[in-house]
Amino acid sequence: MLGTVFLVSIALIFWHSYKRAEPESGLEQLAAMRSGDGYKAYFGAGQGYNLIIIQLESFQNFLLNQSVQEQPLTPVLNELASESLYFPYIFQQIGRGNTSDAEFAANTSIYPVGGTPMSSKYGNRKFPSLARLLHKRGYTANTFHVNKVSFWDRNQLYPALGFDTYYDQPYFRKEKFNRFGASDEELYRVAFNKLNALALKHQTFYAQLVTASSHSPYTIPEDRKRLKLNAALDGNTLGNYLTAIHYVDYALGTFIDKLKQSGLWNNSVVVVYGDHFGLNKKNYNPQKIAGVEETGN
């Protein structure tokens, strides 16, 4: 049942070059990691590996392992979750900053204040962060977003978080995928080229990729739509959302393929998670969405 989980639950998928832990529950996996030999097996397992964190726009956990009119909605993420550490009970912790607050929390483990975007009010600070921790181990830290870096004052946020370089709108092709600019495919193309160049120089890196192709209102170009919908879903907000998510999953697959072909996949820890809700409970009844899920219509 979707229930309240539909409202706020987002997925966390953690891939590394070791076999998936059992049992399957994310909470049970975490307990196993913290106890006895399980903890010893995982502690420091990623030392010396590159770290790639991918923040998916408006992505919720209920989307995984679903089909829409007999079409798998997220086949790439389904496969990734099946061979990775998968935590289905991750709850959004954002305030007015939305996506930028999710970036802040992921990089600092500090709760946003809520009423004010962290990037706007606290961008003049120097925060303890993941980037700064990894700097001490010789890593460089880069972040990628197809929008202008001034949006949500990320030009202040990224230095506050200790990133060495940010890649924003001027680094991407001038395509109009949605109101933010370039597509996720373009985001991944540029990110891969930059990261592969670092790897060829034997430079370990931390990379944050912030996607935007599944941002509301979820309308994407016709030539990028890969999901076939019936008349009941085609053209409405739910149908548009599912279509955008299906594309996001496909685009992620193109990035993973490049990582595997280059050898970066086996030298990296890859973390994928959603930043916040996609369909707000104020506008969409969870029971109605659950009914659509159960009937497949």
Does the active-site annotation cover 243?
A: no
pLDDT at residue 5 is higher than 60? no
- Condensed to tens digits (0 to 9), the pLDDT of residues 240-261 reads 999 999 999 999 999 999 999 9
Lowest mean pLDDT segment, chosen from 23-27, 138-142, 177-181, 229-233: 23-27
**Percent of the chain with pLDDT strictly greater than 90:** 54
Q: Would you state the pLDDT for residue 292?
A: 59
For residue 40, name the pLDDT band (cuts at 50, 70, 90): low
pLDDT over threshold 80, residue 60: yes
Tell me what pLDDT residue 111 has: 85
Give the chain as a DSSP string.
Answer: --TTHHHHEEEEEEE-SSPPPSSS-HHHHHHHHHSHHHHHHHTTTTTTSEEEEEEETT--GGGTT-EETTEES-HHHHHHHHTSEEEEEEE----TTTHHHHHHHHHH-----SSS-HHHHSTTS----HHHHHHTTT-EEEEE-SS-TTGGGHHHHHHHTT-SEEE-GGGS----SBTTBS-HHHHHHHHHHHHHHHHHTT--EEEEEE--TT-TT----GGG------TTTTTSHHHHHHHHHHHHHHHHHHHHHHHHHHT-GGGEEEEEEE-S-SS-TTTS-HHHHHHHHHHT-
Question: Confidence band (pLDDT; 50, 70, 90) for 8?
Answer: very low
Average the pLDDT over 38-66 and give the result: 86
More confidently predicted of 274 and 296: 274
Tens of pLDDT along 103-122? 988 999 888 887 887 777 77
Lowest mean per-residue pLDDT among 93-102, 121-130, 201-210, 234-243: 93-102
Annotated catalytic residue within 4, 74, 99, 254: 99
Mean of pLDDT over the chain: 84
